Structure 1
């Protein structure tokens, strides 16, 4: 059993502490805007977790000075309601609580949302920009592309924890870092691996039945990364990883503490606790959840969408 002194060597970082940094940014953005932006969330399922997230989103948005409206609709009619919201000038942002159908039709629904109101950054333009490391929508670099909220939250957390070397130019700020991600979902794990690789890290992405290595491509252009299947184990890679990020939606899964490199940074974005308490005997920094930072990024994205639409340069 680990001693109290050993456990105290690891510092637990609360998501609320990180979110406060960006809450001030958002407060300033709202003051400059001079009105309450309106976010509409569509709930077309009976998933308790989705409803909980919707309620939490609404409360957080209202607390920060945003207007939030939850629209509960039959899933068969969801597409029509999204189109109506796209055409409604009073709506600034749209999000959908997935899963709806639980298949490829959900991916189709993501593409129905107008890019001007896609607060989650899931439409094709934003997804393509993410994977090709295109950070702006215009040549003048006044309009920033929208990134999906949870991957963006994880990037901001790593910046806060000092993993990024801010002295280096964009594209190199994670140079020399090895990162393990236990999740390769299309919503979080895969885009996160791409974002980190685009910033110079070597990322090992573990899924149920395969491991992929994300790393910057060769050549002068820094617009893309390469992905290769690799034959390695979690134990092998975790022991050389500076950062370990988990997102396994199962109460039964626990990352093997003995595989954690001494002094590594461990971050969990699953609603379940993927690390055991004894991870503090190995990690230097530990973030147990990221939800509050994710919702902060949602509001940040909404302000950015409004800025992009108005043609005003965003400072966010």
Structure 2
């Protein structure tokens, strides 16, 4: 009798996005207006256009307003500043890459922190790396996390890779993860977030491997990074429970023979980083995450609007209190 091969479950982003959308719809009921997101497209990158079209479609289907503004890249800075000061605009997304240089990083920093749905402002990035989860001392206003790394985390939660019996912040304790990509927008933030939640993460770049952990035990609040001289995928993949890849090129494929039996494999590149034979080794395979990323974007927009409404309500309450004090004096 032939031995039956273990069955790999292919999980589609659409199914994961549905459960997150329910949370978004509940939040929308408490907002007095339709939140408006403005997207800036200033490059000829086809992947950016597809992402912009998906964003618009998802916004319109779920009670948000989306406006795509196509501008010349030399005029983008002024266009962002105009949107920052426009009270009708609740959130801003810029479709990168534009210049493909430090100028892109500069543009990320001029988007108002109160409208930055991508979580790329310095304050949000600082909080993420320092594992600071709130913007205020009262822990009521949650910090915004970058969309694609957060989408991967939401997928891992959906797949129950996070152990919900453990306290929040330690739920990946004992997990070993390889992230193939160390870009500043996705790969490095993702490695940091996973390590901050307790995982041992091997961050693989074209040149080297780094290990992100929270140090020994469960005590440290934020991650630390050490170089792994001489290490390659041959060292990381056989010991990893989870393999997450996002190499932006059609020629790169994760070597299937190095994967651990039963590994969970997630692809976040617009190209397929895993060959079809990944199903012979993996227990779960997520071939794309785009639809989850867009729902996370809407979730971030909703959070930004909620934070602003709360701040306005607090300011109003503070003014009423001051007026009352003046009247009694």
TM-score scaled to structure 1, two decimals?
0.95
Q: Report the counterpart of residue 243 of structure 2 in structure 1.
A: 244
Quick one: distance in 2 between partners of 1:116 and 1:303?
12
Question: What is the SS of the residue equivalent to 2:30?
Answer: helix
Of the candidates 151, 163, 166, which is equivalent to residue 165 of structure 1?
163
Quote the offset at 1:171 in angstroms. 2.1
Quick one: distance in 1 between partners of 2:209 and 2:285?
24
Question: What is the SS of the residue equivalent to 2:239?
Answer: coil
Residues 179 and 203, structure 1, Cα contact 8 Å, conserved in 2: yes
Residues 264 and 283, structure 1, Cα contact 8 Å, conserved in 2: yes
Question: What is the SS of the residue equivalent to 1:212?
Answer: strand
Residues 210 and 227, structure 2, Cα contact 8 Å, conserved in 1: yes
For the pair 1:285 / 2:288, whether they are aligned, the reply is no
Quick one: distance in 2 between partners of 1:243 and 1:192?
13
Quote the offset at 1:220 in angstroms. 8.2
Quick one: distance in 1 between partners of 2:95 and 2:263?
33
For the pair 1:304 / 2:307, whether they are aligned, the reply is no
For residues 93-242 of structure 1, the aligned pairs below 5 Å read 93-217=91-215, 222-231=220-229, 232-242=231-241
Question: What is the SS of the residue equivalent to 2:29?
Answer: helix
Quick one: distance in 2 between partners of 1:223 and 1:200?
10
Q: Report the counterpart of residue 256 of structure 1 in structure 2.
A: 255
Q: Report the counterpart of residue 53 of structure 2 in structure 1.
A: 55
Q: Report the counterpart of residue 43 of structure 1 in structure 2.
A: 41
Moved more, 21-30 or 231-240: 231-240
Aligned length, in residue pairs = 309
Quick one: distance in 2 between partners of 1:219 and 1:137?
27
What is the RMSD of the two structures over their aligned residues, measured on CA atoms? 1.6
User: Structure 2: which 5+ residue stretches go unaligned?
Assistant: 312-329
Residues 171 and 222, structure 1, Cα contact 8 Å, conserved in 2: no
Quick one: distance in 2 between partners of 1:203 and 1:279?
21
Of the candidates 8, 15, 22, which is equivalent to residue 10 of structure 1?
8
Q: Report the counterpart of residue 264 of structure 2 in structure 1.
A: 265
Quick one: distance in 2 between partners of 1:100 and 1:16?
28
Quick one: distance in 2 between partners of 1:252 and 1:77?
35
Quick one: distance in 1 between partners of 2:78 and 2:220?
40
CA change 1:80–1:4 in 2 (3 A) is farther
Residues 170 and 218, structure 2, Cα contact 8 Å, conserved in 1: no
User: Structure 1: which 5+ residue stretches go unaligned?
Assistant: none
Question: What is the SS of the residue equivalent to 2:38?
Answer: strand
C-alpha distance after superposition, 1:30-89 (max 9, x if no partner): 112132100000111111221111111111111111100001111111111111111111
C-alpha distance after superposition, 1:287-306 (max 9, x if no partner): 00000000000000000001
C-alpha distance after superposition, 1:198-224 (max 9, x if no partner): 000000000011111000046986332
Question: What is the SS of the residue equivalent to 2:174?
Answer: coil
